[in-house]
Structure 1
Amino acid sequence: MHELPGAAMSLWWGLPFAGLLLSIATGPLLFHHLWEHHYGKIAAGWAALAVVPLAVTFGIPTAGEAVLHTLLTEYMSFIILLFALYTISGGILLAGNIHGTPLTNAGLLLIGALLASVIGTTGASMILIRPMLRANDNRPFNAHVVIFFIFLVSNIGGSLTPLGDPPLFVGFLRGVDFFWTTVHILPDTLFVGGLVLAVFLAIDLVLHRREAGLPKIKDPTPDTKVRLRGLANLPLLAGVIGAILLSASWKPGVSIPVVGVGLELQNLVRDAIILVLAFLSLRVSYKSHREANGFTWGPIAEVAKLFAGIFICIVPVIAILRAGHDGALAPLVALVTSADGQPNDLAYFWLTGALSSFLDNAPTYLVFFELAGGDAQHLMTEAASTLAAISAGAVFMGANTYIGNAPNFMVFAIARHRGFKMPGFFGYMAWSGLVLIPTFLIAGFLFFG
């Protein structure tokens, strides 16, 4: 197997990744029309700027294997799962008009956060984002509701089980017990989630009172009784969860080579089952339910194209990180080790979190999992606080940007398609900087100081 020589690679290799992030950040703001019609081509252009130099410098076999390995073993499963959750949840309709008062909004956020650890942050986000949008579509100030939805439902709520968020699922596949995170990160989740929810309630109360003096906006959603429809999709959603658990527990030891990349049989079976369940949902769901949800393929297409670019451009960055103390990011890596050689839990929390804010949080979790020794038994026992720091950092701080976790961008895209005036990339980071960073500072010193 050919591997990229991360120790010999300079930080210049991260330029396409940085360029793609900058394009995602500025495109919708500075050249909106061009971006709307050509974001896929722009992402492909940055991906080509990553792949072609890799092939020229290290040879086509090495570069090809590195990129194909990422696309086939990570991106394919990633986008199949997102596609299925998006499709199946799109057929579940919470019909009726819930009025978005501060207490109602807070209640929906709490339910979503709890649901996120059971059906995943993507599943919870897709089921609840549309009712949340309908509940607040007649309010002059409503973008903050979506922002806190991303904070709590799309990220923080998924920290209690491997089903909740991809990084924890990676840890589960590496040998971390299913309920380990439930036990060890519960206090952190309750503190961070509770504080962020309290901040939301305070802000929403202030804005709701301010709206009372403004001209009324006609509610575009008529008042009807609240009902859950599309119940045939619930067992399909359970089937997706079952397929994920099956791939983790069933290990036949069979690897099937696909264009030179070995794909484990259990993962292929899992992805096939998930795809079948997604297409089954399209057959059994009522078209009227999807139309009422405002279901379109636009948001998932946008996520698929942009994250394909991100997964490709991230290849050299991950190679440099994996080089550890020998790579160009060695000063960063050295920060996670104390002077006495012991792991610095607070540094693990912040570095895993900072990188998870901009890189995909699953491979970032894996890098720091390996840096901490990679032995699940040791990390669950003697180094439990270090594993908790890595896990919490990866899950919590995925909320810091639109690209920290896959549901973030999907929720943003859905809200934008529904006419909500969402802040841009840096505008969203201003919110996370004011709300999340102070919360994480307090949590870091409380739990990992």
Structure 2
Amino acid sequence: METAVRAKCLIAFLALFALAPALGHAAEIDGAGLAATWGIPFAGLLLSIALCPLLTPVFWHHHYGKVTLAWALAFLVPCALFLGAGTAAGGLLHALVGEYIPFIILITSLFVVAGGICVRGNLHGTPALNTGLLALGTVLASFMGTTGASMLLIRPLIRANDHRRHAAHIVVFFIFLVANAGGSLTPLGDPPLFLGFLKGVDFFWTVQNIFPETLFLCVALLLIFFVLDSYYCRRKEAGLPLPDPTPDKAISFEGKINFALLGGIIGLVLLSGFWRSGVSFTVAGAEVELQNVVRDVLLVAIIFISLAVTPKSARDGNEFTWGPIQEVAKLFAGIFITIIPVIAMLRAGEAGAFGAVVRAVTDPSGQPINAMYFWATGVLSSFLDNAPTYLVFFNTAGGDPSVLMTSLAGTLAAISCGAVFMGANSYIGNAPNLMVKAIAEERGVRMPSFFGYMAWSCAVLVPLFVIMTFIFF
């Protein structure tokens, strides 16, 4: 039965692509004409992600894909009925082709390639070692992406601390630093900055303009973590030693070919930004450029190459499973679909249902308020996907990269910092957050609930963001 359902879904999906040329002329959703109630499916999906694992964990584990699909249909069906089938299908295809598919291909390629690099041996998780691993991952995140750095280091970090009773805080700070803040210095680091790069922001603009903010946040988090981890070691672990389940062994790497494939991923991302082919296709109103098609096709090829050439023992050593990326793929498919009317209302500016947000970031003379851009982008990035949120406020600030990089550099810095840094405020703010959580739980770490994690972020991150506001914005 399940196979038949999947086959029907595939046929429907292919039928949408067959209709793509016609749907490309479908009317775009006018955010100015939408009531705030169109955001209910998106809010419902977020609440489901937050509450179902707490209230109905068994049901959620087995049926989160179906719940996600139900919320997606809760937007698509009324959209087809009230705004037209062409508008609904066009919006769906635009979200899939222009945003979701490139996003999930890049995330999957980093997940598969990094998951094929097995770090053998055993490190003993002392506060100094854990802080050093977090610092290493923070640096690597800007060069191999937050997903790549997270997938490379999360398993060795968990293994180094598998003799400790209290390890959840280590993973929480890993999400803060490696899965988010560390990716702020280059477009390779985090999807929002990559989108800005494709819009015309110089590759080295971020490192030149938000390095002080990044340094402040990362150093502060590392210091807080060291103090907290030292406390756990002294007070919580003292007198309660557990045997180390991982035997001592020299550090070595298996699946080294994946380092070369990781370099290939980085090269393809760079190529798609620097190469301007001048050739593009329009699919359901979304402009797809040749260089991006080449990038995505070759990234898929790298996925298959990695699966073919990586020794089975390397993936077995990582306890590699498809569960984390499946969860991300399903949940973010629903997020990208249900977010369509929310983004449309935000793009409508003051004429939309969320006009108050737009008014809040602009002073009476029409000049941007950088502190408000930082917080508006950040708060929305905490619960919306931070990549489209970045684009919304990029366009709200004028959308001209030459202006934003010069006379409005402070505004672009605020938008960039808000999107990247505050993606760590919740599990759904950035895709690697959920993957790290899923891997940690698979390894037996009792991670905080959705709201439990937000208690950590409110206690640690938010005060730092307030301080940053006064210093930098």
Map 1:359-378 → 2, pairs under 5 A: 359-378=384-403
1:112 aligns to what? 137
1:203 aligns to what? 228
Shift of 1:73: 1.2
Question: For 1:311-349, what per-residue CA distance to the aligned partner results, in whole angstroms no more than 9, with x for missing partners?
Answer: 101001000000011000001110100123211000000
2:347 pairs with 1:322: yes
2:458 aligns to what? 433
Amino acid at match of 1:199: I
Secondary structure of the 2:253 match is: strand
1:12 aligns to what? 37
1:3 aligns to what? 28
2:371 aligns to what? 346
1:136 aligns to what? 161
2:308 pairs with 1:287: no
Shift of 1:134: 0.3
Question: For 1:58-106, what per-residue CA distance to the aligned partner results, in whole angstroms no more than 9, with x for missing partners?
Answer: 1011121111101111100111111110100011111111111000000
2:88 pairs with 1:63: yes
Of 214-223 and 390-399, deviating more is: 214-223
Q: Distance in 2 between matches of 1:103 and 1:72?
A: 45
Q: Root-mean-square deviation (CA), in Å? A: 1.0
Map 1:16-55 → 2, pairs under 5 A: 16-55=41-80
Question: For 1:1-41, what per-residue CA distance to the aligned partner results, in whole angstroms no more than 9, with x for missing partners?
Answer: 42101001011011001111111111111101111111100
1:389 aligns to what? 414
Instruction: List alignment gaps of at least 5 residues for structure 1.
Output: none
Question: For 1:229-254, what per-residue CA distance to the aligned partner results, in whole angstroms no more than 9, with x for missing partners?
Answer: 21111110011111111111222222
Secondary structure of the 1:263 match is: strand
1:169 aligns to what? 194
Question: For 1:122-157, what per-residue CA distance to the aligned partner results, in whole angstroms no more than 9, with x for missing partners?
Answer: 000000000011011111110000000000000000
Instruction: List alignment gaps of at least 5 residues for structure 2.
Output: 1-24
Amino acid at match of 1:297: W
Q: Distance in 1 between matches of 2:240 and 2:257?
A: 41
1:83 aligns to what? 108
Tell me, yes or no, if the aligned pair for 2:146 and 2:182 is still in contact at 8 Å: yes
Q: Distance in 2 between matches of 1:212 and 1:24?
A: 32
2:207 pairs with 1:186: no
Please give the TM-score of this superposition, normalised by the length of structure 1: 0.98
Q: Distance in 2 between matches of 1:120 and 1:295?
A: 19
Q: Distance in 1 between matches of 2:30 and 2:250?
A: 60
* Shift in CA distance, 207/232, structure 1 to aligned 2, threshold 3 Å: same
Tell me, yes or no, if the aligned pair for 2:165 and 2:237 is still in contact at 8 Å: no
Amino acid at match of 2:211: L
Please give the TM-score of this superposition, normalised by the length of structure 2: 0.93
Of 334-343 and 127-136, deviating more is: 334-343
Secondary structure of the 2:383 match is: coil
2:285 pairs with 1:251: no
2:3 aligns to what? none
Amino acid at match of 2:428: I
Shift of 1:278: 1.1
- Counting matched residue pairs gives 448
Shift of 1:265: 1.5
Q: Distance in 1 between matches of 2:366 and 2:347?
A: 19
Amino acid at match of 1:60: A
Shift of 1:255: 2.3
2:302 aligns to what? 277
Q: Distance in 2 between matches of 1:76 and 1:330?
A: 30
Tell me, yes or no, if the aligned pair for 1:232 and 1:285 is still in contact at 8 Å: yes
Amino acid at match of 1:242: G
Q: Distance in 1 between matches of 2:434 and 2:237?
A: 31
Tell me, yes or no, if the aligned pair for 2:378 and 2:423 is still in contact at 8 Å: yes
Q: Distance in 1 between matches of 2:470 and 2:250?
A: 46
Q: Identical aligned pairs, as a percentage?
A: 58
Shift of 1:259: 6.0
Shift of 1:260: 6.4
Secondary structure of the 1:178 match is: coil
Shift of 1:183: 0.7
Shift of 1:257: 4.4
Q: Distance in 1 between matches of 2:415 and 2:70?
A: 33
Q: Distance in 2 between matches of 1:250 and 1:431?
A: 42
Tell me, yes or no, if the aligned pair for 1:139 and 1:211 is still in contact at 8 Å: no
2:260 aligns to what? 235
Amino acid at match of 1:405: N
Question: For 1:192-222, what per-residue CA distance to the aligned partner results, in whole angstroms no more than 9, with x for missing partners?
Answer: 1111111111110000101343422222211
Tell me, yes or no, if the aligned pair for 1:11 and 1:328 is still in contact at 8 Å: yes
2:242 pairs with 1:217: yes
Amino acid at match of 1:376: P
Q: Distance in 1 between matches of 2:142 and 2:256?
A: 20
2:8 aligns to what? none
Q: Distance in 1 between matches of 2:131 and 2:124?
A: 12
Q: Distance in 1 between matches of 2:377 and 2:395?
A: 12
Q: Distance in 2 between matches of 1:340 and 1:306?
A: 41
2:98 aligns to what? 73
Tell me, yes or no, if the aligned pair for 1:325 and 1:334 is still in contact at 8 Å: yes
Q: Distance in 2 between matches of 1:373 and 1:257?
A: 24
2:472 aligns to what? 447
Q: Distance in 1 between matches of 2:96 and 2:181?
A: 27
2:148 pairs with 1:149: no
Tell me, yes or no, if the aligned pair for 1:85 and 1:122 is still in contact at 8 Å: yes
Tell me, yes or no, if the aligned pair for 1:65 and 1:261 is still in contact at 8 Å: no
